[in-house]
Amino acid sequence: MTIFAKLSKMVDYMRPSAKSIGTGETNTLPDQPTLGLVDLHTHSNASDGDYSPDRLIREAVKEGVSTLALTDHDTLSGLESAQNEAKTAGVRFIPGIEISIHWTGEAGISGIGPGGEFHLLGLGLWSPTTALTGAIAELSSRREARNREILDRMHELSIEASWDEVIAISGGHSVGRPHFASLLVKKKIVRNREQAFSRYLKQGKPLFVPKTGLPFAEAAALIRESGGIPVLAHPMSLFVAWGRLPDLIKTLKDRGLLGIEAWHPTAKVKSCRRLEELGKSLGLYITEGSDFHGTSVRPGRKLGCSSRGREISNAVLEAIRPLDAFSQKKA
């Protein structure tokens, strides 16, 4: 069997079956949890979260989470530590990532709306390819260049700050806007992180520097070649009108998308149900996550819970056949 044939066979296996995308019980997402909670979207201080990867696992156990995916922004550096702790704690661990995507749209297909962002989750990265790690290294280089520009803009505003100060706040991990927000708080320029973003760091403000992610098709292919499932993260953050969203997501599916994070803390329950229906109609896996970052970064979020505190049941994972099967094998 040729490499192409093997890859095609693997992709066919990873696509949702007719049963899993229909109205049957296998793809129903009940409100009450069974067999412990699941969380398919979390962050550690390997990117912009509060907790170390191992502490994140321990906190998940306290919250009754039995299966957790670590999906740090544009990095795999926290996976080994989290996986080791998960094995000790008896937690089913799913290695993942959240990749920044550059998308401007296509003929007749919407781009990202003003102020929107496009992130792609990669779930189940048990065998990252050298191509994926190389792309991540490039994203890391772009991230540092962006951070250096933010620092230069701070100097232009007569805000005294050094790169060493930023690194110290990040704990030596990947630097992002939340760390600059913390620096502004530390220097008493703002009262809290929320004010730092609203006055300085969000789009349209003086310290905002756009970041350039990977092209969607490239990112999706890299995830799939690494054995993972590409999932559109928090679709409402695209800021695309409902009338244009179905065509956009269908186009993404044609380019390699396999799932949609229909349930997310930032979306209203009504919107989540609508996204779930849309995903099912397109034959996509339906995922759900807390997008947990910690107690000081987006503190309203709770591990194992999504929109309006809805607990994420094991049925979510069971409906994603390859992810469930491989996570059980690796546990």
The pLDDT score that the predictor gives to residue 331 is: 66
CB 102 within 8 A of CB 212: yes
Q: How far apart are CA 229 and CA 215, in angstroms?
A: 16
Nearest to 249 by CA among 268, 273, 233, 229: 233
What beta strand segments (E) does 73-182 contain? 92-102, 119-123
DSSP 242: T
Nearest to 249 by CA among 95, 118, 59, 160: 118
Provide the 10 A C-beta neighbour count for residue 282.
17
CATH of domain 31-138+212-330: 3.20.20.140
Q: What are the 10-residue block averages of pLDDT along the chain, 331 residues in total? A: 40 40 33 71 94 97 97 96 97 97 89 93 97 96 95 97 94 88 96 94 94 95 98 97 97 98 97 98 98 87 97 96 78 66
Q: Show me where the domains of the chain are located.
A: 31-138+212-330, 147-201
Nearest to 291 by CA among 280, 283, 302, 282: 302
